[in-house]
Structure 1
Amino acid sequence: MMAVSDQLVGAAIAQSRELLLLLDPKSLSFIYSNSAAETALGYESGEICSLSPHDLFPEFTAPELNAILDNLSVDVNKHSVMNTVLVSKLVGLRDYYLQLQGVELDQQEVILISGHDVTERMAETDQVHEMLAEAQMDSMLDSATGLMQRVYFLPYMNNVMMKSHETKKPFGLMLLDLENMPEINELYGQPAGERVFLHIGQIVKRVVEVPEYAARFSGKKICLLLPMATKKSVQDLVSHLMRAIARLYYPEWPELKVKARMGIYFGSPTVDPEVLLERVGTDYRDRRLEADEVLTLLNPSLDP
C-alpha cells in the first residue's frame, strides 16, 4: 500500500468536487463518502455508508469486488480504473469512470474510490457507435430489397454449412425466384418494380431466423438460409411466403401480380459457399426449363 498522511487524504476528500469514497476491504463496507458523491447520487449525508458495495455497484458481486481489491493490495503503486454503473436514488443507474487506489489511513488499509459521472459522454459514444454500425450495415444491404448483398451473405452461409457438417444434420437453402419481375417493370414501370422488390424483401426478413440469412442472389432471385430445416418447416415456409406474396396489392396497378417460384436444396456439403450457390442456380435453371412447378427440389452435382 502507498502511505499518505491522514491530513492529505482528508483535504482531498473535503475539497474534491468528484465522487470520493473510502471502502474497508476487510469488511467490504463504506466508511466515508464525500458530499459530492451524496449530492450527485441523491443520498442523505452518511447514507452511502449504510449500503453494501453491491447496492451501489450493482455490476459487481462480492467475489468479483474481493478479487479487484486483492489485486490492488499486491503492488503499493497499483491502481485500477473502470467504467461501471452506480445506483442513483434520483435517476436510477448512472455511468461512472472510477479509479480505485489502496491507501493507508490511521494505520488502516483502505481503498480510496474517486471518479466522475460520464453518463452523457457514454450516451454520445453509444450513439456514435450505433450510427457507425447502421452505416456499416447499410453498406452491406442490397438497395432494392433491403436484404444482404451476396458477398456479405457468404460468411453467414459458410458458418451454417460448417455447423451442418459438424452436427451431421442437413440445412436448407431456398431460391426464391420472382419470375415475372421483368414483365412488371415493362408493363408498370420501374417504380412499380422497385416497390415490389422492397416489399418482397420485407416479407422475407420476417420469415428467416436472422436478417443475415437472406440475400439478393442475383437479378430477380433471393436466397434464404434455413438452418436445421425439416420437411414440415419448409412446407410451412413455402405456404407462408406464397400467401404473403399473393396478398400484395397496389391500387395504382390493380392487375399487378407477382409470380413466384421456389427451388429448395437440402444437404450438408463441404464445398465452398460460392460453388454451392452457383450449382444450385444452375440446377434450378435447368429444372425450370423442364417443368413449370411452383416448388422444385434441387439436387445439384457437387463433384469437384
Structure 2
Amino acid sequence: DAHFDKILEKSRRENYKPIGFLMIDIDKFKTINDTHGHPVGDEVLVELAKRLMNSMRPSDMVARMGGEEFVVVMPESRPEQVAIIADRLRAMIADTPFPIKGGAEMLPVTASIGVTITRPEPEQPADIFKRADDALYRAKEEGRNRIIVN
C-alpha cells in the first residue's frame, strides 16, 4: 500500500522512529456470517472499522486487509505503548456488543490482535506483515480475544 510505504519512508528519514503495526482479526467471523447472514457480517465489519478509526490518532492508518482482517499502523509510537493500545482496542471490541439488524439487536464480538514494531534498520513491508501475522496466528491458537506481540 502506498500510504504504508510513505509511513515507512518517513520513519527511515527520521532515524527509524518506531512504527507500531497491528493485525486485527474478528474471532469466529465465519460463524457470525453462517448464523446471522452476510448482511449482519457486513454490519459488524462497518462497526469495527468505525470503532478503530474513532480510537486512533489522525496520524495513524486503519485499513481493511480483506475478509475480517484489519491493520492499524501507528507511526512514531513508543514500543511500550503499542501493546497497551492494542489491548485497549481488544477490550473495547469485547466489552461493547455490536449493534446489528439496524440496531435492533446487540451481538458480542471479540478479536485477536497480532502486534509488531518496526526495527531500527531497513525492513521490507512483507517482513513486518509476516511478524504481525505470525503473532495474530498465535493469538488465535492460544484461545482468541487476546493480543500477542512478536
Equivalent runs, 1:13-92 vs 2, <5 Å: none
Name the residue aligned to 2:148: 296
Indicate how the Cα distance of structure 1 residues 244 and 259 shifts in structure 2: closer, same or farther if over 3 A, else same. closer
How many angstroms does 1:202 deviate by? 0.8
**123, 133, 138: which is aligned to 1:281?**
133
Confirm or deny that 1:235 pairs with 2:87: no
Tell me the amino acid that sits aligned with residue 266 of structure 1: I
Deviation string, structure 1 residues 142-168 (Cα, Å, up to 9, x no partner) = xxxxxxxxxxxx222122222323323
Aligned match of 1:156 = 3
**What is the identity percentage for the equivalent residue pairs of Structure 1 and Structure 2?**
17
Counterparts of residues 141-290 of structure 1 (less than 5 Å) = 154-166=1-13, 167-210=15-58, 213-230=61-78, 231-232=80-81, 234-236=83-85, 238-240=87-89, 242-247=91-96, 248-250=98-100, 252-254=104-106, 256-268=107-119, 269-285=121-137, 287-288=138-139, 290=141
In terms of Rg, which structure is larger? 1
CA distance change for structure 1 residues 243 and 292 in 2, over 3 Å: closer, same or farther? same
- The 8 Å contact of residues 156 and 212 in structure 1, kept in 2 or not, is answered as no
Partner in structure 2 of residue 52 of structure 1? none
**Partner AA of 2:87 in structure 1:** V
1:207 Cα deviation from its structure 2 partner: 2.4
Alignment length, in residue pairs? 143
Q: Name the amino acid aligned to 1:238.
A: D
Give the structure-1-normalised TM-score. 0.42
Letter in 1 for 2:54: R
Gaps of 5+ in 1: 1-153, 299-304
User: Shift of the alpha carbon at 1:189?
Assistant: 0.9
Deviation of 1:190 after TM superposition, in Å, equals 1.0
Which one is further off, 199-208 or 228-237?
Answer: 228-237
Supply the distance in 2 between the matched residues of 1:240 and 1:281 (Cα, whole angstroms). Answer: 17
**Greater RCO, CA 8 A, separation 6+:** 2
Partner Cα distance (2:113, 2:34) in 1 = 23
3-state SS of 1:292 partner: coil
